């Protein structure tokens, strides 16, 4: 089964993807993680996107589509979880083409709904927790970058809700509950 986790920054996509990896042996494809890894290892592409990411803007479609293409080539017997991809209609179209090319199908798109105030609070707390644990906080986990990240989400990513609804694939889950409650709701949505 291949699924997309869709939702604004801080909705819990990464956390829920991790749970699906542990429970179902799926492979998580997080373009954000891939881009941060490229930044950390100092590749040319990583250096190019660092500023864009720190501001909370989206990197180009070409870059992230290329990253996903590389990963799809590896295959996954447990299926893929697309986490933070696609984020634009062009990326959604490209994903459709790539899945077809690799003989795969998309089974469901799970939208995690959380309101803005909670999202900002979660992200700012995530940064505080990282610092308290002696880790570096993400450069974009600030209230300022969050304003841009949310704007990018509403302008460029939220149209995907209609796109996948029209394809009959959209499942909407309340992302406000505990991690465990959201996990259970996702499991139900995927069975339905």
Please give the positions annotated as active site. Answer: 13, 87, 126, 138, 149
Count of residues in the chain = 192
Question: How far apart are the C-alpha atoms of 143 and 148, rounded to whole Å?
Answer: 9
List the interface residues with ligand AMP, window 9-28 (CB under 6 A).
Answer: 9
Q: Give the alpha-carbon dihedral of 151, 157, 162, 163, to 10 degrees.
A: 160
The yes or no reply on residue 140 touching ligand AMP (CB under 6 A) is: yes
> How would you class 98 by CB atoms within 10 Å of its CB: exposed for 0-12, middle for 13-18, buried for 19 or more?
middle
Q: Which is nearer to ligand AMP, 31 or 171 (CB)?
A: 31
The yes or no reply on residue 175 touching ligand AMP (CB under 6 A) is: no
List the one residue from 2, 16, 28, 31 that touches ligand AMP (CB under 6 A). 31
Q: Which is nearer to ligand AMP, 143 or 184 (CB)?
A: 143
Over the window 66 to 85, marking each residue x when it contacts ligand AMP by CB under 6 A and - when it does not, the resulting string is: ------------------xx
List the interface residues with ligand AMP, window 81-120 (CB under 6 A).
Answer: 84-85, 87, 91
Contacts with ligand AMP by CB under 6 A: the residue count is 17
Strand partners, 28: 81
Minimum separation from the CB atom of position 107 to ligand AMP (A): 19
Helix (H), strand (E) counts: the chain: 9, 5
Task: Give the range of 38-46, 49-57, 105-113, 181-189 binding ligand AMP by CB under 6 A.
Answer: 49-57
The yes or no reply on residue 53 touching ligand AMP (CB under 6 A) is: yes
Name the one residue in this structure whose structure tokens are 């864009």.
52
- Round the CA-based radius of gyration of the chain to a whole number and report it: 16
Element (DSSP H or E) covering residue 107: none
List, in order, residues 6 or more apart from 108 with CB less than 8 Å away: 1, 3, 4, 169, 171, 189, 190
Q: Which is nearer to ligand AMP, 60 or 188 (CB)?
A: 60
The yes or no reply on residue 7 touching ligand AMP (CB under 6 A) is: no
Neighbouring CB atoms inside 10 A of 136's CB total: 8
The yes or no reply on residue 187 touching ligand AMP (CB under 6 A) is: no
Query: Which residues would be at the binding site for ligand AMP (CB under 6 A)?
Result: 9, 31-32, 35, 52-53, 56-59, 64, 84-85, 87, 91, 140, 149
């Amino acid at each position: 089964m291949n699924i997309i986790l869709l939702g604004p920054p801080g909705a819990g996509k990464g956390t829920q993807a991790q749970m699906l990896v542990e429970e179902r042996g799926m492979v998580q494809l997080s373009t954000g993680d891939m881009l941060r890894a490229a930044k950390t290892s100092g590749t040319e592409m990583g250096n190019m996107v660092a500023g864009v990411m720190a501001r909370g803007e989206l990197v180009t479609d070409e870059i992230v589509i290329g990253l996903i293409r590389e990963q799809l080539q590896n295959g996954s017997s447990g299926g893929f979880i697309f986490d933070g991809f696609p984020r634009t209609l062009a990326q959604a179209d490209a994903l459709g083409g790539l899945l077809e090319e690799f003989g795969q199908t998309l089974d469901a798109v799970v939208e995690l709904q959380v309101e803005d105030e909670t999202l900002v609070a979660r992200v700012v707390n995530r940064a505080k927790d990282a610092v308290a644990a002696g880790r570096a906080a993400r450069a974009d986990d600030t209230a300022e970058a969050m304003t841009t990240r949310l704007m990018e989400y509403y302008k460029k990513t939220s149209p995907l809700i209609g796109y996948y609804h029209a394809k009959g694939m959209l499942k909407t889950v309340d992302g406000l509950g505990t991690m465990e409650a959201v996990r259970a709701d996702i499991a139900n949505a995927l069975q339905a």
